[in-house]
Structures are given as C-alpha cells and as structure tokens.
Structure 1
C-alpha cells in the first residue's frame, strides 16, 4: 500500500490544526522517535504495522485525543497526545519518503 492509495491522508494532514505548543512539543520529540520501540507501544501491538496503515490508525487516535482535549474530558492525556502526534509526524514523513522512492525490480539495470 502506498501513499497514492490514500490521497485523502495528505489532505487530512494538511488540514490538521492543533495548538502551537502541542505541535512544538511533538516536533521536539521527533528526534527521539524510534519506530520499532514506540509504534508498537503506542498502538498496543506486538508488531509495527506498515507506515500507511499505522498513519491511518494514528490519525484516528489523534482525532479522539483532540476531541477529549477540546471537551476537557478527565480521561485526556497530554503526554499521550504528544506521543501520538510525534508518531503521526514520523509516519507521515516515512510515507512521503516511500512514495518518492522509485521501486526498482530489475537491479541488473544499474
């Protein structure tokens, strides 16, 4: 599955509006993001899913957290929200890289 399979992901990410401090905290945390370690924990899985699948699920989780934040719900976790935003940013970057990387099946042509 490629980013081209889900053109709406690009639009969803482009339209995402969150408080600057939340985004700044997530950007700061990007440098310490470790996909193998963090994604499994955040998604509560034994294995990390493919980047597009992970991004779709992470966007849904982030939307739920944003709703809880806006409604002032007691179950809202700022820490988890930042961690999910970090993962969204990292996975989106990985999906963009994968979409831009040509897939060559004939290595003898190089």
Structure 2
C-alpha cells in the first residue's frame, strides 16, 4: 500500500484543475480552511486529514467524471487546495533534521 504522500503524488487530475488549486495554495490557512472543508471543529493531524481529504476528493472526482449534477468545482478546488496544503505540512514536519557537529 502506498503511504499517504505517495497517494497524493499518484493523483491524476486535469491540469487546469490542478493549476487552479495551486493558485489557492499560498493562501491556505489550516485553521480556517480545513475546518470548513472537513466540516469539523476538531482538526486532525496532517496525515489523518490527508486520508479524509483524499476520500472526499475521490467522491468529488467521481461526480466530475460521471458529469453528475451534484458536482461542484468550487468544492473540488477547496479539497485539492487542502490536500496540497496538508501534504506540504506533512512533508515539512516529517523530514529528518540534520544536525551539524
């Protein structure tokens, strides 16, 4: 099984959708955005948040590809921005620190 960052890296979405999400990444505020996107008061740790976000995004992408009326591009972008933001946080916090001696 792929690790959570590997799962994020394996996502294949339309380039236009990914590029649009990248524009929102610089303004990603975990406290504000993640609460709204996950619709929760409790903020999970980045790895757990990523798993939840990937699950929600998968459903949203299924709606997109099936051209269902329920699909909302704004929600899909919110999910992709949150996925990118949480992946960035997880990468930054999981890197082993190098200590010079």
TM-score by length of 2: 0.90
Distance 2:15 2:2 in 1: 26
**In structure 2, the residue corresponding to 1:32 is in which secondary structure?**
coil
Q: How do 1:58-97 and structure 2 match up within 5 A?
A: 58-97=53-92
Mark the runs of 5 or more structure 2 residues left unpaired by the alignment. none
**Structure 1 residue ranges without an equivalent (≥5):** 1-5, 103-110
User: Which consecutive aligned stretches of 4+ in structure 1 deviate over 3 angstroms post-superposition?
Assistant: none
Counterparts of 2:8 and 2:80 in 1: how far apart (Å)? 11
TM-score, normalised by the number of residues in structure 1: 0.83
Structure of greater Rg: 1
Distance 2:5 2:47 in 1: 11
More helix by share: 1
